[in-house]
Copies of this chain bind each other. A is one copy, B any other.
Amino acid sequence: MIRVHHLNNSRSQRVLWLLEELGRPYEVVRYQRKANMLAPSELKRVHPLGKSPVIEDDGKKLAETGLIVEYLVARYGPDLAPARDSDLYWRYIYWLHYAEGSLMPPLLLKLVVNRLGLLGLPARRFVDAQLKLHLVFLEAELANAPWFLGDRFSAADIMLSFPLEVATQRGGLDQTRPRLMDFLARIHARPAYRRAIERGGAYLYGA
């Protein structure tokens, strides 16, 4: 059975949700953030970087959310992605890379700049401008369809959920971007999403 090493209030929540959408049985090993928000050191026994998510499947240990989503969908749920020989497939892979490679970094910067308080002020304008750029881009992407690949829900939507949820807390995402807010409302209403929250434990960023 697939085992998911899951850190509370983290990017690994998406992996639980994906497995629920796939209808795959899985086991959750839970880890709790320390008071300083960092991952506990026990995660270093799972993977040298000590981050979450890590999954175990079929004798393999896999880290990095984008890879995990790409792997699980290819192996267990090709219906959650476009056909490999279509142009849309590359759009799907784009979103898997974009979510952590481009959208999360300014959200991480924002967290650090916020923690610096007044000391971080000189960097705030730059970080806020970057975040706005992404939100404008993403809002426009939903102009003609409810999901990031068009009319069909896909694993790209699951991948983008976490940074967008985090953006409502510290990235400036609010009702001035109604399509993104509707997107979040739609995913939060999915039964598989709700079941994943039950399996993962209290989730700061969910509905």
Residues of A within 8 A of B (CB): 48-51, 60, 62-67, 70-71, 87, 90, 93-94, 96-98, 100-102, 104-105, 108-109, 112-113, 115-116, 119-120, 122-123, 126-127, 133-134, 136-137, 140
**Given A100-B102, A116-B116, 4 extra CB contacts under 8 A:** A67-B94, A71-B93, A97-B100, A100-B100
Q: How many copies does the complex hold?
A: 2
Chain A binding surface, main DSSP class: helix
- In angstroms, Cα B105 to Cα A49, docked, is 14
Contacts of A90 in B (CB 8 A): 60, 62, 67, 71
Please measure, in the bound complex, the distance between the C-alpha atom of A154 and the C-alpha atom of B61, giving whole angstroms.
21
- Assess whether B102 is in contact with A105, with CB atoms less than 8 Å apart: no
* B102 lies within 8 A of A49 (CB): yes
Q: Is the CB of B64 within 8 A of A94?
A: yes
Find out whether the CB atom of B49 lies under 8 angstroms from the CB atom of A134. Answer: yes
Q: Once bound together, how far apart are the Cα atoms of A52 and B5, in whole Å?
A: 34
Residues from chain B with a CB closer than 8 A to the CB of A96 are 67, 97
Chain B residues with CB under 8 Å of A71's CB are 90, 93
A98 to B115, CA, bound (A): 26
CB < 8 Å: which of B94, B115, B126, B134 contacts A123?
Answer: B115
Would B104 and A62 count as touching, CB distance under 8 A? no
Chain B residues near A116 (CB-CB < 8 A): 116, 119-120, 122-123
**What is the minimal beta-carbon distance from A53 to any residue of chain B, in angstroms?**
12
**CB of A126 to closest CB in B, whole Å:** 8
Known: A93-B71, A119-B120, A120-B119. A64 touches B101 (CB 8 A): yes
Minimum Cβ distance to chain B for residue A119 (Å): 4
Q: How far is the CB of A80 from chain B (nearest CB, A)?
A: 17
